Amino acid sequence: MQPSSCDTFVALPPSTEGQRIIFGKNSDRPCDEVQEVVYFPARDYAAEEKVECTYIEIEQVGHTHAVVLSRPAWLWGAEMGANEHQVCIGNEAVWGRESADDEEALLGMDLVRLGLERADTAEKAVDVITELLEKYGQGGSCMEDESGFTYHNSFLISDRKEAWLLETSGKHWAAEKVQGGYRNISNQYGITTKIDKEHPKMREYAQSKGWWDGKTEFNFATVYSFMTTARIEASGSRYCEGKQLLEKSNGHITAETMMGILRDKDSGINMEGMFMSTGSMVSVIPTNPELPGVHYFTATPDPEKSVFKPFIFVENARPLKETSSPSYGPDDPVKKKPRFQSKPNRRHELFVKHELVAAIIESYKDRGQRITKSMRDLEKTKMIEMEEILSSGIDKPDNLADLFSRSVHEEMTVYSKS
């Protein structure tokens, strides 16, 4: 198995239709891994409280924002998600000259969740993540086994007005602001000479390692990465394909455009095989702060065989039980040392029903086409409903408190009829 994972996209005006920012990500993970979609409301904490992340405990802050997350069911953090302030974050695995650390620290996925819980703008999320990186470092196995699969992380972060690309190598990092157009990332360093924020010793460190002579123009991707490994080559083709797909719709990129890109198998963006797209997300964020954002998640593998279902932040939003995996608490094999001695069943209710339907779609052409059409019809109906809210705002917030769960039940009804 050659690990390679994830494609993340953001499109801002004038590349989008209307004054909206469109964010999207496919989470490419081991094909037997379950991805859940969960909601955590905003919370206040007492002084000196701690928070237990996937491997380590860190200091908690006084207040965390409400978040909706798509995450591998075995860990604390998230592959992608959004918060009540319409900040969206997705991360990518990157490899470079600095070896990735297998010593347990914060996972990149922990940093995604921490950034969402603690920042109300994209730029503040950059600050949150980099401060935590400096204090605690990044490291530990990124898969639910003893393979020691580790990597550095890049992050694409957006809010209502801009996006930021943050790329890391150990504790060193560079960040670039994106104020218009579109951007995508795919497992390779992409920041070159336009650097808007950086680790204060990032250049000095590179020079001390002999990666940079201190005289030529500093190019982060050239200095910190290898461009020869099979991983980078594979991600390079996906990056180019993704960029071309965005360019094809430049000026009128919509949520439907982004879903289409995430479903594209020819490009490799909708990944199949031992690593596959196990969860997908598309967010639509109006630049007008009076209007809500809509966040679509599949909570199931292969977006081509899945339904994007909407979530909207409202005050009384309810837990997402149908897409939450079983919890094993302190008995979870991830929490016990040595870790990963067994793998419990982490399949949530929707995953179980979807698994059967996906097999039918794969095995029976005519029947599969009918099921897929019903799934697309449901998705289209939901998107039409959401368009009214995106344009006019929320009339009755309580009616949206269980929006995602209702959509999941409608999806499961489609499966039952099939």
Q: How many percent of the chain have pLDDT more than 70? A: 96
Task: Map out the domains of the chain with their CATH numbers.
Answer: 7-405 (3.60.60.10)
- Whether the predicted pLDDT of 230 surpasses 50: no
If you ran DSSP here, which 8-state letter would residue 218 be given? P
Output 11 or 228, whichever has higher pLDDT: 11
Least confident of 140-149, 255-264, 345-354, 392-401: 140-149
Question: What is the tens place of the pLDDT at every residue in 250-306?
Answer: 999 999 999 999 999 999 999 999 999 999 999 999 999 999 999 999 999 999 999
- Whether the predicted pLDDT of 100 surpasses 90: no
For 384, phi then psi, to 5°, come to -65, -40
The predicted model gives 48-54 an average pLDDT of 97
If you ran DSSP here, which 8-state letter would residue 253 be given? B
- Whether the predicted pLDDT of 21 surpasses 50: yes
Give the pTM: 0.96
- Whether the predicted pLDDT of 378 surpasses 90: yes
d(CA 181, CA 299): 28
d(CA 271, CA 349): 23
- CA nearest to 69, candidates 286, 268, 307, 313: 313
Q: Which helix (H) or strand (E) holds 259?
A: helix 255-262
The predicted model gives 377-387 an average pLDDT of 98
Question: pLDDT grade, residue 228 (50/70/90)?
Answer: very low
The predicted model gives 185-209 an average pLDDT of 95
d(CA 33, CA 151): 18
If you ran DSSP here, which 8-state letter would residue 83 be given? E
CA triple 353-358-361, angle to 5 deg: 130
d(CA 198, CA 98): 17
Q: What is the pLDDT of residue 233?
A: 52
- Whether the predicted pLDDT of 236 surpasses 70: no
d(CA 390, CA 382): 12
- Whether the predicted pLDDT of 417 surpasses 80: yes
Q: What is the pLDDT of residue 4?
A: 60
Question: pLDDT grade, residue 2 (50/70/90)?
Answer: very low
Q: Cα torsion for 131, 135, 137, 140, to the nearest 10°?
A: -120
Least confident of 1-15, 228-242, 359-373, 404-418: 228-242
Crossing angle of helices 349-363 and 403-417, in 10° steps, is 40
Question: pLDDT grade, residue 149 (50/70/90)?
Answer: confident
d(CA 412, CA 395): 27
Task: Give CA separation, 153 vs 20, 189, 247, 292, 393, in Å.
Answer: 27, 9, 25, 29, 36
Kindly calculate the radius of gyration of the chain based on its CA atoms and give it in whole angstroms.
20
Take residue 37 and report the two structure tokens written for it: 């979609």
Q: What is the pLDDT of residue 231?
A: 47
Q: If DSSP codes are grouped into helix, strand and coil, which group holds residue 368?
A: helix
Q: What is the mean pLDDT of the chain?
A: 94
Task: Give CA separation, 238 vs 98, 206, 247, 251, 357, in Å.
Answer: 23, 28, 14, 22, 28
- Whether the predicted pLDDT of 102 surpasses 90: no
3-state helix, strand, coil in the chain (%, to 5): 35, 25, 45
Exposed/middle/buried for residue 216 (C-beta within 10 Å: 0-12, 13-18, 19+): exposed
CB neighbours (10 Å) of residue 373? 11
List Cβ neighbours of 271 (8 Å cut-off, separation of 6 or more).
4, 5, 26, 28, 277
CA triple 133-186-304, angle to 5 deg: 120
Q: How many percent of the chain have pLDDT more than 90? A: 89
Question: pLDDT grade, residue 401 (50/70/90)?
Answer: very high
Q: What is the pLDDT of residue 20?
A: 98
Q: In the annotation, is 31 catalytic?
A: no
The predicted model gives 42-63 an average pLDDT of 98
Q: If DSSP codes are grouped into helix, strand and coil, which group holds residue 331?
A: helix
The predicted model gives 334-347 an average pLDDT of 96
Q: What is the pLDDT of residue 237?
A: 86
Q: What is the pLDDT of residue 227?
A: 56
d(CA 152, CA 128): 17
Q: What is the pLDDT of residue 406?
A: 98
Least confident of 4-13, 24-33, 205-214: 4-13
